[in-house]
């Protein structure tokens, strides 16, 4: 990974996003009583789906550049 966020980006964007995600996870657990393991699996599924989306976008960009 080449990206290194600036202090400003950390403070304004990334840290608040992290806090929001953690709060959402807590709220989902409180509302559903699904447990931490389910939340972890849920987040891992999101990561895998995002990786697939990024790969698909790269493939589309490669097709468009041909």
Is there a domain that residue 22 lies in? yes
Q: What is the pLDDT of residue 46?
A: 97
Q: What is the pLDDT of residue 66?
A: 72
Is there a domain that residue 1 lies in? no
The predicted model scores a pTM of: 0.80
Is there a domain that residue 11 lies in? yes
9-61 pLDDT per residue, tens: 999 999 999 999 999 999 999 999 999 999 999 999 999 999 999 999 999 99
Q: What is the pLDDT of residue 34?
A: 97
Is there a domain that residue 29 lies in? yes
Domain carrying residue 11: 7-64
Is there a domain that residue 2 lies in? no
H or E, element range at 18: helix 15-32
Structural domain count, the chain: 1
Torsion of CA 18, 24, 26, 31, to 10 degrees: 180
């Amino acid at each position: 990974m080449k990206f290194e966020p600036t202090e400003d980006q950390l403070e304004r964007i990334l840290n608040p996003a992290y806090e929001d995600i953690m709060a959402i996870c807590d709220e989902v657990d409180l509302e559903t009583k699904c447990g931490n393991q389910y939340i972890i699996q849920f987040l891992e599924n999101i990561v895998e789906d995002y990786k697939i989306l990024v790969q698909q976008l790269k493939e589309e960009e490669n097709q468009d550049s041909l």
